[in-house]
Structure 1
């Protein structure tokens, strides 16, 4: 029962993360028309988000090992909700770039946090099959998030495409904080271990599987 609760909460959580990232692609043309923001300005907002999201992946994994997946996901979602609400209340390219860039960094708590939570409850012999079903969250999430943002935009204006999803993201984040349990295999570091970062990086870069997986995922994003 506990494992299915974790499965459901983490599936819902990662699907919901998309509600705080798919609204800008839907609303950007309307924002450009109404506020007169240039195409270059819109591109800068997108680029800033992607850059901070990439950087945040490193920080998210490190932080998750220290505070646990429940707090990483829960607080990450609530912060993301606040940032997209702030985005929806803004009217200048500089503020859009600031809030969406910060949102990218916070959004990066989703993948390491949820994968850590799932790994703590499911062992290596069953993890492949379970994660196959779990991974449907990042197909369903973008689909529903995009449809909702488009509907809100069409009926209530572009700002509601941010305010409405922000409420949902915050609610799911609160559910995670209240009900997600750390698994029996979870380890949370109270005192960070001393690690030779350069040696670890060299070892990872020499591993051909790392390069193969990186190249395959890069190809998926083209």
Structure 2
């Protein structure tokens, strides 16, 4: 999850550069940012169902490969339409993760340790952007 949140913050930091390179208006860029959230949201429940059906570990590997491909494709976008499609599909890959990760915590941690395990999992939501934002600014 830490790595997933690293990826999410980068596009916000690269916003001015992307808008300039692709001649995207702020409104269109808002659609780009929303596209990820749409793909992410629609796969939350199906991701949990898939984790139960095919296994959480297998789904995490599939999701990681999926969103890694579309993270890379984000940098290849030459139009707003393509960027929106890529961001939706990137969101789909990351949307598959949560159900699988929570299932793994439930499967591998005794009930008395699940709160701590979930806490460690969820702290990455804050640490990923906090750590990568200054680095991403420096790299840009």
**TM-score of the superposed pair, with normalisation by structure 1:** 0.59
Of residues 24, 30, 39 in structure 1, which corresponds to 2:26? 39
Answer yes or no: is 1:55 the counterpart of 2:48: no
Please give the alpha-carbon distance, in whole angstroms, between the structure 2 residues aligned to 1:129 and 1:58.
23
Per the TM alignment, residue 125 of structure 1 is displaced from its structure 2 partner at its CA by: 2.3
SS at match of 2:24: coil
Contact 1:64 1:112 in 2 (8 A): yes
Per the TM alignment, residue 74 of structure 1 is displaced from its structure 2 partner at its CA by: 1.2
Length, aligned pairs only: 140
Of residues 7, 12, 19 in structure 2, which corresponds to 1:25? 12
Structure with larger Rg: 1
Please give the alpha-carbon distance, in whole angstroms, between the structure 2 residues aligned to 1:18 and 1:26.
13
Answer yes or no: is 1:99 the counterpart of 2:81: no
Please give the alpha-carbon distance, in whole angstroms, between the structure 2 residues aligned to 1:60 and 1:134.
17
**TM-score of the superposed pair, with normalisation by structure 2:** 0.90
Per the TM alignment, residue 66 of structure 1 is displaced from its structure 2 partner at its CA by: 1.0
Please give the alpha-carbon distance, in whole angstroms, between the structure 2 residues aligned to 1:64 and 1:71.
8
Per the TM alignment, residue 144 of structure 1 is displaced from its structure 2 partner at its CA by: 2.3
Tell me which protein shows more helix as a share of its residues: 2
Answer yes or no: is 1:143 the counterpart of 2:114: no
Per the TM alignment, residue 31 of structure 1 is displaced from its structure 2 partner at its CA by: 1.0
Structure 1, unmatched stretches of 5+, are: 1-13, 154-222
Please give the alpha-carbon distance, in whole angstroms, between the structure 1 residues aligned to 2:44 and 2:72.
23
Matches within 5 A, 1:120-159: 120-153=107-140
Contact 2:67 2:92 in 1 (8 A): no
Per the TM alignment, residue 72 of structure 1 is displaced from its structure 2 partner at its CA by: 1.0
Q: What are the Cα deviations for residues 28-53 of structure 1, in whole angstroms up to 9, with x where unaligned?
A: 11111222111121011112211221
Please give the alpha-carbon distance, in whole angstroms, between the structure 1 residues aligned to 2:122 and 2:27.
34
CA 1:107–1:133 in 2, change beyond 3 Å: closer, same or farther? closer
